[in-house]
A and B are shown apart, each in its own frame.
Chain A
Amino acid sequence: MTEPSLLTPVLSANWDEHQPWTLDTYRRDGGYDGLRKALAMHPDEVIQTVKDSGLRGRGGAGFPTGMKWGFIPQNDGKPHYLVVNADESEPGTCKDIPLMYANPHVLIEGVIIASYAIRSGHAFIYVRGEVVPVLRRLHAAVREAYAAGYLGKNVLGSGFDLELTVHAGAGAYICGEETALLDSLEGRRGQPRLRPPFPAVAGLYASPTCVNNVESIASVPPILNKGVEWFRSMGSEKSPGFTLYSLSGHVTRPGQYEAPLGVTLRQLLDLAGGVRAGHRIKFWTPGGSSTPMFTDEHLDVPLDYEGVGAAGSMLGTKALQIFDETVCVVRAVLRWTEFYEHESCGKCTPCREGTYWLTQLLTRLEHGEGTEEDLETLLDVADNILGKSFCALGDGAASPIQSSLKYFRDEYLAHFEHGGCPFDTAASTAWATTAPASTGAGAHS
């Protein structure tokens, strides 16, 4: 039995309080104390503190946040920009949206600290457009922060000036890729840029720019406020701290679970009431659809950057999508592939053409009209996308295909042996009865 004390709510700690999105509530809980401490330090000290904490990017790649800040050249005479990537769109990922909805001020405090550290006078929060409730709260919180003197000229009398603009996107997954996001923020089609130069050298308006994920920036105020040792008391040496794990799908109690890095899915499932009653786990993603899927043999993999990487996937966004035995893996992968095809920006050929053909092949396979040769073609096309595309969207498209064929090749075969999909889609719905599903067994018999 996993003890509830395993959980470490920090970012989510005040979500059950009265109106946690307001400045009053946030300040009552020590909000903006981290900022005061930061402003009393030299900006380089702030960067060093974040480096010492070992905080790593929560947007998927896990790059050390403090090191990223340190890449911004100083005394270069150019304006610097901080851009928060709040374009949360990776299938399965649902941590930043509830965070900004419940407590936008922790993000704003983090933005001010980060901007102070990298010496940026103008910061942006690029939030996806399709979340109006979050946009409404962010706008209100920014207004409150300006009125309270945390933003604008001479922040808290420190002499530091900062403007913060909340910018709504308009529907494009690719804008979660940092250079596509910058093009979009410049008022262009959101397509990735060639690197180098990296954003730290030539980012927004060709000026040094730091692009950080929402959760990464929101983790900074508690680090400043409570210290590096406190932060490092959680998680592991290489993956220290706490993070939001998002459980979704066929789990009894889906939702946000804030825990130290390195917990296992078995522990989280234990707290979440297990897989939905009457069923067992079949496959799951550790960090969204772009991270190679896992099966029931990976329940004890430590969910930190090293642990998940060693097991052949990526921690990604810690979007733990749980699929039980009623779900057809071919259907799941086809739908993800349709997503990548739809969202491919069209800039590079491997991704633009490859995702199109992957969709054709998978559609044929799901309908039982494929052949065993199609599986080899599928892998061949995926291989021609992976590592050969302009950005990581293409790599993401290859992941579910390669990993599902690794673990469930026979289920693909069962589709053409069966002459179609052997699963009953009704059995996987949230309103399906809890009686053990007899359907779906066809793929395993």
Chain B
Amino acid sequence: MSTDLGMPMPPAKPAPPYPPEVRARLEVDAKEVIGRYPQARSALLPLLHLVQAEEGYVTGTGIEFCADILGLTTAEVSAVATFYTMYRRRQGGDFHVGVCTNTLCAVMGGDEIFASLKDHLGIGNKETTADGVVTLEHIECNAACDYAPVVMVNWEFFDDATPQSARELVDDLRAGKDAVPTRGARLCTFRDTSRILAGFPDERPGAVDEGGAGGTASLVGLRIAKGTHTDDAPRSTTVPGSRSATPGGANETPPAPSSHDAPARTAESDPAHPAPPAGNAPDQDGDQAP
């Protein structure tokens, strides 16, 4: 089902309430969330994550539940729900695939990855595949620039992505195969992820320890300082489809070196290098770089 890009219809008023057993269960969760804060309204963001975990997006029912629990109007809750980009306003896929297209990732290939996924999946930004598995979205900087270009699935990191690795990733997701993030735990569904965001622990045994301490980029400075850095894979993954860190973590063998990521002299360090000098044309006004 390809979702429509138009403005969402306003929820029917009043929205149908949760079935009593759902409501009772959510009230228990909501009380726990509210109990974390000195003032109840602070619980609104996690409660919106919680109702998103229940239905896959923030429905009119979810908004009324939050309003009721916190003593707010539905207008006040809607105003908050529509301010933040992580709250879905319509049903989406089990896997949210986000491609960073902020400047650095875009330049490093994020634009190509996003274009390739749109073409491969036959959907546009914020749309969902007909099988209801993948929702595609271009996202803003996700604080993993040293692993650019970055793809996130349900907000787990797939670092050093390529168009090919991204296409394989969505194919695996749609085929029901496991997809292992470079940093983070085995994927769970978008709804399960939303529950973690509401502040509830990931109950899967071992989930906290999956994904290691970080990939090559996180550890490179430390390893250089300690003299333990091996230079066979300076950019952790330029081999299409390979991954920079496996679930075993930092102590795993780094990916096999490829021919084009071997260390080499750079134009910066070599004045005789044939690459053109960066900067300005020489005949411009005086306040520019020489």
Contact = CB atoms under 8 A, between A and B. Distances in A.
A296 B267 CA distance: 12
Given A89-B141, A132-B156, A168-B197, A278 B273 contact: yes
Contacts of B269: 270, 274
Nearest to B148: A248
B30 to A, nearest CB: 13
Contact of A282 (B101, B213, B228, B278): B278
A20 B144 contact: no
A332 B234 contact: no
Contacts of A295: 278-279, 289
Interface of B: 36-39, 41-46, 48-49, 70, 79-80, 83-87, 98, 101-104, 106-109, 111-112, 139-149, 152, 154-157, 160, 162, 181, 183-185, 193, 196-199, 201-202, 207-209, 211, 213-214, 216-228, 231, 234-235, 238, 240, 249-251, 260, 263-269, 273-281, 284-285, 287-290
B263 A273 contact: yes
Given A4-B225, A132-B197, A436-B275, A89 B140 contact: yes
Nearest to A5: B225
B279 A444 contact: yes
Nearest to B289: A295
Interface in A408-441: 408-411, 414, 425-426, 428-431, 433-434, 436-437, 440-441
Given A172-B84, A280-B277, A96 B143 contact: yes
A68 interface: no
Contacts of B148: 248-249, 254, 430
B284 A409 contact: yes
Contacts of B225: 4-5, 7-9, 258
A97 to B, nearest CB: 4
Given A248-B146, A430-B109, A258 B268 contact: no
A406 B80 contact: no
B275 A278 contact: yes
A170 B86 contact: yes
B224 A277 contact: no
A246 B201 contact: no
A406 B288 contact: yes
How would you classify the secondary structure of chain B's contact residues: helix, strand, loop or mixed?
loop
Interface of A: 4-5, 7-9, 12-13, 15-22, 79, 88-94, 96-98, 101-102, 122, 128-133, 135-137, 139-140, 143, 165-173, 184-190, 205, 245-249, 252-259, 269-283, 289, 295-297, 319, 321, 323-325, 327, 331-332, 335-336, 339, 342-343, 345, 406-411, 414, 425-426, 428-431, 433-434, 436-437, 440-441, 443-445
B268 A281 contact: yes
A295 B98 CA distance: 31
Nearest to A103: B213
Contacts of A246: 145-146
Given A89-B143, A185-B42, A258-B222, A441 B48 contact: no
Contacts of A184: 45
A407 B148 CA distance: 25
B222 A98 contact: no
Contacts of B141: 89-93, 339
Contact of A16 (B140, B184, B197, B213): B213
Contact of B45 (A16, A133, A166, A170): A170
Contact of B42 (A7, A186, A440): A186
Contacts of B275: 278-280, 324-325, 436-437
Given A92-B141, A324-B278, A429 B264 contact: no
B268 to A, nearest CB: 4
A389 B218 CA distance: 36
A101 B273 contact: no
Contact of A254 (B146, B156, B199, B290): B146
Given A273-B231, A276-B235, 7 more contacts: A7-B221, A9-B226, A16-B251, A102-B213, A129-B155, A339-B103, A409-B280
A131 B250 contact: no
Given A128-B143, A135-B196, A170-B86, A273 B268 contact: no
A321 B148 CA distance: 11
A79 B221 contact: no
Question: Can you list the 3 inter-chain pairs with the closest CB atoms, starting with the nearest?
Answer: A282-B278, A133-B184, A187-B44
